[in-house]
Structure 1
Amino acid sequence: MQVYLVGGAVRDHLLGHPYHEKDYVVVGATPQQMLADGFQPVGKDFPVFLHPETKEEYALARTERKAGHGYHGFEFYTDPSVSLEEDLIRRDLTINAMAMDDEGTVYDPYQGQQDLELRLLRHVSDAFVEDPLRVLRIARFAARYHALGFRVAPETLQLMQTLAESGELKALTPERVWKETSRALMEPHADVYFEVLRECGALKVLFPEIDALFGIPQRPEYHPEIDCGIHTMMSLQQACKAGYDLDVRFAVLVHDLGKALTPKDELPRHIMHEERGIQPVTEVCERLKVPTNTKQLALAVCKEHLKCHQALNLKPGTLWRLLQRLDVLRRPERVEAFVQACECDSRGRLGLEDRAYPQAQYLRDAMQVVRNIKAQDLPPEIKGPDIGEMLIQRRIEALAGLKAQQQIISE
């Protein structure tokens, strides 16, 4: 029995890139041997075991063949006779098809180290097209290693295009698509994920609402980059640069979906695009089974982002109603996330990436002002329904005071 560290841990070790998960492949063993050594079985489709102490995954070397559609359409074969090379050839990329023994010797039958040097994401074999999930995985790797200069090999991009055109992507479950996409959104260059998917034709299959933004013009005096799709990617870059969380990044990604629905005779203006965006944002979230909190922020940013941009000029009552809709009293974190997403939208424009966005601090100050006014601070003679009305009145008055201070500062 021989044990090898495989996959991402080997790749990142050779790159000097941080990694946390370790996966192992076991050659020359049977399930019975693994059980006798105290390993705990966890695999359903093929034998995977947890180490009795470290709880790291150890999988028996296996081969596989396509036997159906989609991500689960495979039959696996495990046997002590399966070699390390046979196990590695079923993997997606050459840089993921390397193994290392406990002495640090690297086994690289498919030139993964060469492709690390060349900064290429290249498929191991033509069996790549048997698994549609690999289209998303390669796009995610492109997003992860973009800063290191990695790019998708032309021949691999061609196979990804073949998969996109085959209809196989439609066999992916919403859970798998969301899992890969949510992980990609948290990469340092999440925009590259969507750009690679667009390049191979997968974006229009899996995210037609986002794909539809490319080629839609905007007014150049407000959007020097002009193209709505480019603006969306630039805004997402801002969210990544700032290190914002998943909810904010997803909200930024879908905030302008309504612009793809603007009537052609109104272009390049996008009147009412916020309202038009509600339906496509809802459809994306429902199709991918996006978590509720993520969906709620996305809808709020879609519907209200222009109000945030106009915050300094809003009447106190209008600003109060905006904060109310954002659930300021119960969920101040929602207001903060909303502000972050809107700031990314403002800065996701060509030449305006570093432009000041005073609206952000103004809304944060407004949030604190209204939250500091509590029922226990009201006069004791205020009773019943009058309490709610008095609280609203005082909060609006406080926002009026904040607005006056802001105007003095700006003068």
Structure 2
Amino acid sequence: MKIYTVGGAVRDQLLGLPVKDRDYVVVGATPEQMLAEGFRPVGKDFPVFLHPKTQAEYALARTERKSGRGYKGFTVYAAPDVTLEDDLARRDLTINAMAEDENGELIDPYGGQEDLARRTLRHVGAAFVEDPVRILRLARFAARFDFQVAPETMALCREMVAMGEVDHLVPERVWAELAKGLMEAQPSRMFTVLRDCGALARLMPELDVLWGVPQPPKHHPEVDTGDHVMRVLDYAASQDWSLDTRFAALCHDLGKGVTPPEEWPRHIEHERRGVALVEALCERIKAPNDCRELAVLVCREHCNIHRAREMRSTTVLELLIRCDALRKPDRFKRLLDACIADARGRAGLETQVYPQAEYLLACRDAAFAVDAGAIAAATEDKAQIPEAVRLARLAALRALSHSD
């Protein structure tokens, strides 16, 4: 029995990055031997065991053979005769196909260390085409490391898309990889790779169609809607904002892909269509509720929020109510963050002031400060309580506006 550290831990150590998790491969062992050593089995699709003391995962060396479509269409073989090189050969990228033995010696049969130096993402072998999740992982690693995709690897990804492999990805796995990629330092790189190989058009067609859609240069120096959305997303990432904020930034302009530009000044039309697209996308990729709700809010309200300083107090109060700002103040703050990203995700405008956010937060706090309980107690006709509270909040907003 021999134990090796494999995968991301070896890669990150060579890159000088912090090693968060360590994965281990065991060569020359049987499940019975692992149990005899005190390991606890946890694997469903292949033999994985937890170390009796550290609880780290140890997987028996294995090979995989394609037996069906999609992510789960594999037959796994794990036995003592599977070598370390066999196990590494099934991995996606050369930079993830390295190992280190218990003495710290590097085992690199597929040139991963050289590709790290070249800053290149390259597939290990032809078996790469057998698992469509690898396209998403490739795109995610491009976002994480700012590495280039090797031409032959991009060609394989295009072949996989043409074969329809990505159409068989389960939604939960798509979302899991997208969520990880969205949380990278420059997530736009992930979508660049997905677009280049054709996968984005299959997985997120609502987003893919935005490239080539022109925007008015008066407000958008970058002109192209797809370019703008990527800038908005990267700005949200640069502020280390939450996943739901980044996802909302990604989805905020989906309506422009199906709305003629001449209708954009009316706002409501592309917002209405955009909300329908956001909801359809979230349903298809099984986005969690917090991401779905914020994305819908941002798509529906971002143009209104941009005009907040021009609104009457009654309209501002209606906006706060629609956004449920008083009951969900933290979500309202994230909504404003996404709008800030939209305003600053434009060429040359990354540092422009955005007073709308501070103003609306002050409005939220002023409306929240109204003592609804005291108003209810003082109102004889209980049917009039909602209107009395509304008028009190409206007065608070008007006082705030006059104090500016």
Could you list the per-position Cα deviations for residues 206-227 of structure 1 after superposition, in whole angstroms to 9, with x for gaps in the alignment? 0100001000001100111111
SS of alignment partner, residue 91 of structure 2 = coil
1:62-101 mapped onto 2 (5 Å cutoff): 62-101=62-101
Give 1:270 deviation, angstroms. 7.0
Counterpart position of 2:316: 319
C-alpha contact 2:245 2:294 (8 A) present in aligned 1: yes
C-alpha contact 2:376 2:385 (8 A) present in aligned 1: no
SS of alignment partner, residue 378 of structure 1 = helix
Q: What is the count of residue pairs matched by the alignment?
A: 402
In structure 1, C-alpha distance between the alignment counterparts of 2:167 and 2:349, rounded to whole Å: 38
In structure 1, C-alpha distance between the alignment counterparts of 2:164 and 2:121, rounded to whole Å: 23
Give 1:186 deviation, angstroms. 0.6
Aligned-residue CA RMSD (Å): 1.3
C-alpha contact 1:48 1:58 (8 A) present in aligned 2: yes
Could you state the TM-score of these two structures normalised by the residue count of structure 1?
A: 0.95
2:139 is the alignment partner of 1:173: no
Give 1:366 deviation, angstroms. 0.9
C-alpha contact 2:264 2:270 (8 A) present in aligned 1: no
C-alpha contact 2:263 2:270 (8 A) present in aligned 1: no
In structure 2, C-alpha distance between the alignment counterparts of 1:121 and 1:251, rounded to whole Å: 29
Which stretch of structure 1 is more off in the superposition, 112-121 or 269-278?
269-278
Could you list the per-position Cα deviations for residues 10-61 of structure 1 after superposition, in whole angstroms to 9, with x for gaps in the alignment? 1001101123111100001000000111111111111111111111110000
- Determine which of 345, 349, 369 is the counterpart of 2:346: 349
Q: Which runs of 5+ in 2 are unaligned?
A: none
AA aligned to 1:2 is K
In structure 2, C-alpha distance between the alignment counterparts of 1:274 and 1:268, rounded to whole Å: 9
In structure 2, C-alpha distance between the alignment counterparts of 1:21 and 1:231, rounded to whole Å: 35
Give 1:118 deviation, angstroms. 0.6
2:168 is the alignment partner of 1:183: no
2:243 is the alignment partner of 1:246: yes
In structure 2, C-alpha distance between the alignment counterparts of 1:24 and 1:39, rounded to whole Å: 13
2:375 is the alignment partner of 1:378: yes
Could you state the TM-score of these two structures normalised by the residue count of structure 2?
A: 0.97
Counterpart position of 2:156: 159
2:142 is the alignment partner of 1:145: no
C-alpha contact 1:99 1:106 (8 A) present in aligned 2: yes
SS of alignment partner, residue 220 of structure 2 = coil
Give 1:102 deviation, angstroms. 2.0
C-alpha contact 1:217 1:268 (8 A) present in aligned 2: no
Could you list the per-position Cα deviations for residues 340-374 of structure 1 after superposition, in whole angstroms to 9, with x for gaps in the alignment? 00110111111111101111111111111111112
In structure 2, C-alpha distance between the alignment counterparts of 1:185 and 1:372, rounded to whole Å: 36
Distance 1:390 1:95, change over 3 A: same
In structure 2, C-alpha distance between the alignment counterparts of 1:270 and 1:344, rounded to whole Å: 22
SS of alignment partner, residue 59 of structure 2 = strand
C-alpha contact 2:245 2:338 (8 A) present in aligned 1: yes
Give 1:269 deviation, angstroms. 5.7
AA aligned to 2:369 is N
Give 1:154 deviation, angstroms. 1.1
- Determine which of 279, 287, 291 is the counterpart of 1:290: 287
SS of alignment partner, residue 221 of structure 2 = coil
Counterpart position of 1:6: 6
1:249-264 mapped onto 2 (5 Å cutoff): 249-263=246-260
Distance 1:48 1:390, change over 3 A: same
SS of alignment partner, residue 65 of structure 2 = strand
Give 1:380 deviation, angstroms. 4.7
Counterpart position of 2:270: 273
Counterpart position of 1:335: 332
Which stretch of structure 1 is more off in the superposition, 123-132 or 377-386?
377-386
Indicate the percent of aligned positions where both proteins have the same amino acid: 52
Give 1:379 deviation, angstroms. 8.1
Distance 1:43 1:381, change over 3 A: closer
Counterpart position of 1:403: 401
Which stretch of structure 1 is more off in the superposition, 134-143 or 41-50?
41-50
In structure 2, C-alpha distance between the alignment counterparts of 1:270 and 1:165, rounded to whole Å: 39
Which stretch of structure 1 is more off in the superposition, 154-163 or 377-386?
377-386
- Determine which of 208, 214, 218 is the counterpart of 1:217: 214
Counterpart position of 1:409: none
C-alpha contact 2:70 2:165 (8 A) present in aligned 1: yes
2:106 is the alignment partner of 1:109: no
- Determine which of 373, 386, 389 is the counterpart of 1:388: 386
2:132 is the alignment partner of 1:132: yes
C-alpha contact 2:71 2:133 (8 A) present in aligned 1: yes
Give 1:268 deviation, angstroms. 7.6
Counterpart position of 2:194: 197
Distance 1:321 1:270, change over 3 A: closer
Which stretch of structure 1 is more off in the superposition, 29-38 or 158-167?
158-167
Give 1:404 deviation, angstroms. 1.9
SS of alignment partner, residue 110 of structure 1 = coil
C-alpha contact 1:219 1:269 (8 A) present in aligned 2: no
In structure 1, C-alpha distance between the alignment counterparts of 2:317 and 2:281, rounded to whole Å: 30
